[in-house]
Chains A and B, each alone.
Chain A
Amino acid sequence: MRFNRVTAEVIERLKEIVGEDYVLTSPEELEKYSIDEIEERYCSLPEAVVKPRTPEEIAAIMKLANEYKIPVTPRGAGTGLSGGAVPVYGGIVLSLERMNEILEIDLDNMMVTVEPGVVLADMMRAVEAHGLFYPVDVSTLESCHVGGNVAENAGGARAVKYGITGHWVYGLEMVTPTGEIVRLGGKRIKDVTGYNLVQLVVGSEGTLGIITKITFRLTVKPKYALDLLTPFESLEDAVAQVLGLLRKESSLSAIEFMDSLSIKAVEKYLNLVLPYDDCEAHLLVQVDGMEEEGVWQAAERVYEKLTAAGAKEVFVADNRLTREKIWRARRNIAEALKALHNYVSVEDIVVPRSEIPEIIRRLRRLSRTHDIEVPLYGHIGDGNLHPTPVSGDRDEETWFRDLDAFLSDMFKAVKELGGNITAEHGIGMKRRKYLPLCAGKAEIALMKAIKKAWDPNGILNPGKVFPVEGMCSS
């Protein structure tokens, strides 16, 4: 791919568009925009960072970038895990941090319209103040931006009951790669007018457009929720029981698990102690509903089932303090592993949930044959696991060689079980060479044709999703 450099002339024109204060070029500033939460070795410096405030400014930037053939990488809060916000070919990073207003909470239609730079938890709290609920519970909710959630189609813990980001996106305003402002969808629960472009943009990882407004559908806030933390001696017993529960209970809103390696890491990192931390697995089950009594009855049935399946104990959290204690541990596992090891790779596989016991068995086997420690945690309820191989005392070169071999084997196992290589983090720059393992030539050609039609110069977030020619992993 041939792109041009950001020249002094381009900088001047960017300043004319967004104002002098919002074009950054100093090395220290550029460094902050060179990486997201992907592993550090993927970092790549931009040549300029712009912080527009309006869709019109973004449209002008895209027209300019097309004129000069300069790559543009959109960026939210930089909490992504696949390098979606990393400017692989330098060029311009377009940060949406200044577009951070909650524009409207429409109570009658139960929809909220926001700008992309709003922090997820701020939006959740704002709608909850009106008794409404945005249920997609992403681990980084206190820092991630909703624009990034839509671009990556983020999932999170409550997908088992409430689905993922895409299920709640009804309207988008977007600047196309060629600099047109378009409005897709709207506050219409039913709408089959033309192709469903909204859902094409959702999860497109910032390669098909720059989202400037989002209208999310909302639901009613459940009045009552209980979180059950359950240590098990055997992970497989735990999983088998929980899958049976899903056929009977409609109130289960999250089913998470953490294995003992993950728990030990998070205990060390947060300096806390979880009960029965030597058990092979801890399950975290959330039950929610509108009536306290109903939720308790459902929890009672879940309790019976877990106990019969060999739970060592069932702990329960029903207020902010205890809930925080349980979830803080679960949410900090990735951070803990990163802090405690030289190199880690946070993976994001998904299998049909009936295959979870089998994929766990295979991961254990692969961990042994490759001699790589693989802490395991994730979302049992929706089949999404985050195996996180860690380097131990390997040096950099050995680690990346061994990791690549492990990942290829893991992805093959995933594919055999009807799974896929990423559930909620995205392909980004991290997994693009593995895409052909799970998508056929014809499917990839369809995706490329869409990209080409929307972005003829290939300047919007290049270096993502598609494998580089000849870089295909067997």
Chain B
Amino acid sequence: MRILVAVKYVPDTDEIQIDETTGTMVREGIPGIINPLDLYAVEEGLRLKERWGGEIVVLSMGPPKAEEALREALSMGADRAVLLTDRRFAGSDTWATAHTLSKAVRKLGYFDLILCGERATDGETGQVGPELGAMLDLPVITYVSQIEDLHPPHGGKRGWICCRRLTEEGYQRIGAPLPALLTVVKEINEPRLPTFQGKSRARRAEIQRLSLEDLALSAQETGLRGSPTRVVEIFYPSLVRDTVVVAEPPEKSVERIVDFLQKHELI
């Protein structure tokens, strides 16, 4: 099995600050970290490799510092890492990011499976994974909470994967031929801690860097120029709470509350 895991380098903070004039996130002075939800994708890839053998390639797009996210994945046991880094990639929205990543995936060769986290903790869109799948023309299964069954390709026969995915109402079992792209949720596993040896190896590992030219992209297709998304305005939604205090004897109060709920068709 050849597995690609896409990871993102995100600001390491619980409080995202938005620059209201540019509409982009304030990243200066905030240390970065691998997107916590991507660890589940890395872990699932490692478990598949332990079961079926093969290779795990981790891929990221970002500033040179994003190497740190890739090294964390390497320290957990990924085999090699590729970073798409180029000033002209800066400002990419989800479409341009997925487009750039898709070029890189094609360049890196055939993968049986592509794994992504559910979403990044900074942008919170959850779009890049599915968009990447669509651009590569792969079947996409989102919110996977368990891989129930997997048959790698064998003797010219196409592989097959069957997953349980989390939906708002419960779980859904869904199958797809390989190659496919999955986005995984927290429930799927418990990411391992890196070992000291893994970390030492990852510190010395060479990370392949690819630029705009390496991907044979034009500057119009990526970065801010290649991004159709425009942030028109940023504001905090105002929340209005009309609190009614009922301070009458209990029987009377209950009656008032029942009336209120009925009036608003809540019971």
Contact = CB atoms under 8 A, between A and B. Distances in A.
Contacts of A317: 193-194
Contacts of A314: 195-197
A315 B200 CA distance: 11
A296 B199 CA distance: 10
A229 interface: yes
A319 B71 CA distance: 12
Contact of A319 (B33, B200, B203): B33
Contact of B193 (A299, A300, A326): A326
A322 B198 CA distance: 14
Interface residues of A, number: 21
B196 A315 contact: yes
B36 interface: yes
Interface string A303-317: 100000000011111
Nearest to A324: B36
Contacts of A244: none
A296 B202 CA distance: 13
Nearest to A320: B12
Contact of B12 (A300, A316, A319, A325): A319
Chain A's interface: helix, strand, loop or mixed, by majority? Answer: mixed
Interface residues of B, number: 17
Contacts of A272: 190
A131 interface: no
Given A319-B12, A320-B33, A321-B33, A275 B199 contact: no
A206 B203 CA distance: 50
A228 interface: yes
Given A272-B190, A273-B190, A296-B203, A319 B195 contact: no
Given A319-B72, A320-B12, A321-B39, A275 B196 contact: no
B195 A315 contact: yes
A318 B72 CA distance: 9
Contact of B194 (A296, A303, A316): A316
Contacts of B193: 229, 275, 315-317, 322, 325-326
Interface in B184-231: 190, 192-197, 199-200, 203
Contact of B196 (A228, A273, A319, A326): A228
A315 to B, nearest CB: 4
Nearest to A313: B195
Contacts of B72: 319
Which of B192, B193, B196 has its CB near the most chain A CB atoms (within 10 A)? Answer: B196
B23 to A, nearest CB: 27
Contacts of A315: 193-196
Contacts of A303: 196
Given A299-B196, A321-B34, 7 more contacts: A275-B193, A313-B195, A315-B195, A315-B196, A321-B36, A321-B39, A325-B193
9 contacts: A296-B200, A296-B203, A300-B200, A313-B195, A315-B193, A315-B195, A316-B194, A316-B199, A322-B194
Closest 4 CB pairs of A and B: A315-B193, A314-B196, A316-B196, A316-B199
